[in-house]
Amino acid sequence: MSIVINQKKCVGCRKCMQVCPGTLIKANENGKAYIKYPKDCWGCVSCVKECQFDAIDFYLGADIGGMGSKMNVTSKGDMIYWNITKSCGEKQTIEIDRTKSNQY
């Protein structure tokens, strides 16, 4: 499990650095985020959820998305979108309504 940070999208807000429980994400000389030891990431996805600039992708395991598939998270109002890009290029979006997500 690991993440990849898109340097073109990153604006250097540092939120991902603040939430990573392993302090794995650092700022480079341009103030942009990077992960030095991706293998140390345990896949909590805190950084993915925190980034408001669509700059962090999480690699999905073979059991849920296939090797090479990636996921990021965007939001608008009460809606959260889990955006999956499969290794073949196929895209899938899972929509979650915050106002209904904890209803039973």
In 3-state terms, what secondary structure has residue 50? helix
**Out of 4, 8, 12, 66, the residue judged to bind ligand SF4 by CB under 6 A:** 12
Region 52-71 residues binding ligand SF4, contact defined as CB under 6 A: 53, 55-56
Q: CA 1 → CA 29, 50, 57, 78, distances in Å?
A: 26, 18, 11, 28
Q: Where are the alpha helices (DSSP H) in the chain?
A: 15-19, 46-50
DSSP state of 15: H
Check residue 46 for interaction with ligand SF4 (CB under 6 A).
Answer: yes
Q: Is 73 in the site for ligand SF4 (CB under 6 A)?
A: no
Helix H or strand E encompassing 82: strand 79-85
Say how many residues touch ligand SF4, by CB under 6 A. 29
| Residue 3 touching ligand SF4 (CB under 6 A) | yes
Annotated active-site residue 82? The verdict is no
Whole-number Å distance between alpha carbons of 81 and 36: 27
The residue from 27, 42, 78, 90 that is catalytic is 42
Active site residues: 42
Chain contacts with ligand SF4 (rule: CB under 6 A): 3, 5, 10-16, 19-22, 24-25, 33, 35, 41-47, 50-51, 53, 55-56
